[in-house]
Amino acid sequence: MDAGPFAPLPFQASTPWLAPLAGWSDLPFRLLCRELGAAVCCTEMISAKGFVYNSPGTHELLNTLPEDNPLVLQLFGAEAPFMAEAALRLKERGFTWFDCNMGCSVPKVTRTGAGAALCRDVDNALRVAEALIGAAGPGRAGFKLRLGWDAAAAGTWKTLARELEARGAGWLTLHPRTARQGFTGQADWQALRELKTLVRIPVVASGDLLSAEDGLRCLAETGADTVMYARGALRDPAIFTSHARLLQGLAPSRPDAATLKARILRHAELARTYSSDRAALLKMRTIVPRYVHDLPGSRALRLAVIACRNWDDFSRALDSCL
Ligand SMILES: Cc1cc2nc3c(=O)[nH]c(=O)nc-3n(C[C@H](O)[C@H](O)[C@H](O)COP(=O)(O)O)c2cc1C
């Protein structure tokens, strides 16, 4: 793989990734996760067509900084020409690594034939993939898969994996549930183990990695090259620190109230610096209840934060409860 002037992406047990998280893996959250040990971060999914047509809101999803690196930009779309056009223009703007969303099961996305709906039309999925790889360059694009559309087609990932590797995919990520399953049931890590034996390109594991212990267990059980934290990072962005600590044989990080408060204030600072004040406050009102969920006696704080109307209310809520 020609890494050109860019460092290759790391795919090791010691280099966990932050997953693409629509509404969440924005620049402030990515910077926070990087400070806490995320080795690679993914953007939220971005519509290839929306980007080409300059749709409202698309531009903000591209916010980045030199220290927000390595960064994987995730695109979704069902039309190969838009995928190619978007990737070419984004490359001109300095983006290096791309991921194609073949796993999103939200009807708004699948109705357009994109996301997990691509599993239902493998021919089109491969046209979209060829377009992306052709524009991004061999090895520069990954693909994020589900098992298939539903239980009857739960083997689609095997066809896609082989064909995508043959076409020059740089890596594959598998969230081993069907699209129909959404987030129900259990992620089938056995499929991740099989994927590792099926392809030679790196495999990134996703699915039910809610703690660093889950991450390490998944690596050991599946042989995946690395893991991608999603809901686990939304609950506790220090999951990356815990991951590193566990690899060193240390106990995971268990933040006390003071550490949590400092982390919340840091996230708020990043959010206020890199997004509008209003958007930052709304984000913090939603994320803080997740961060403090496991803290004994956090109910009062959760209620106070959800109700706050400005940053003074926010500070008062933190000061009175943490
Ligand atoms: C709030 C939320 C937003 C997500 N957004 C995306 C997305 O934009 N693109 C994508 O490929 N997957 C997305 N996912 C799926 C995750 O990247 C991940 O594959 C999934 O949550 C399984 O991992 P987990 O069980 O460890 O959370 C999202 C998941 C959640 C919970």
Whether residue 2 is predicted with pLDDT greater than 70 in this model: the reply is: no
pTM: 0.96
Known active-site residue 104: yes
Nearest Cα to Cα of residue 267 among 227, 232, 313, 236: 236
Q: Enter the CATH code of domain 257-321.
A: 1.10.1200
Greatest CA separation found in the chain? 58
Residues 90-130 pLDDT 10s: 999 999 999 999 999 999 999 999 999 999 999 999 999 99
Catalytic residue of the set 104, 218, 308, 321: 104
Of all residues in the chain, the percent with pLDDT exceeding 70 is 98
> Residue 142: its pLDDT value, please?
98
Q: Provide the residue ranges of all domains of the chain, joining segments of one domain with +.
A: 17-247, 257-321
Sequence-distant (≥ 6) Cβ neighbours of residue 309 within 8 angstroms: none
Of all residues in the chain, the percent with pLDDT exceeding 90 is 93
Residues 132-166 pLDDT 10s: 999 999 999 999 999 999 999 999 999 999 999 99
Q: Where are the beta strands (DSSP E) in 208-282?
A: 226-229
Please state the rounded mean pLDDT for residues 169-192: 98
Nearest CA to ligand 1 atom 29: 21
Residues 194-206 pLDDT 10s: 999 999 999 999 9
Nearest CA to ligand 1 atom 3: 21
CB 179 within 8 A of CB 110: yes
pLDDT band per the 50, 70, 90 thresholds, residue 6: low
> Residue 322: its pLDDT value, please?
85
Superfamily for the 17-247 domain: Aldolase class I (3.20.20.70)
315 CA distance to ligand 1 middle (Å): 30
Residues 243-264 pLDDT 10s: 999 999 999 988 889 999 999 9
DSSP labels, 105-122:
--HHHHTTT-GGGGGG-H
The token pair at 74 is 């995730």
Whether residue 294 is predicted with pLDDT greater than 90 in this model: the reply is: no
Sign of CA dihedral 105, 106, 109, 111: positive
Is omega for the bond preceding 202 within 30 degrees of 0, making it cis? no
Average pLDDT, the chain: 95
> Residue 273: its pLDDT value, please?
97
Torsions phi, psi for 179 (to 5 deg): -60, -40
CB 27 within 8 A of CB 21: no
CB of 173 shorter than 6 A to ligand 1: no
Nearest CA to ligand 1 atom 14: 21
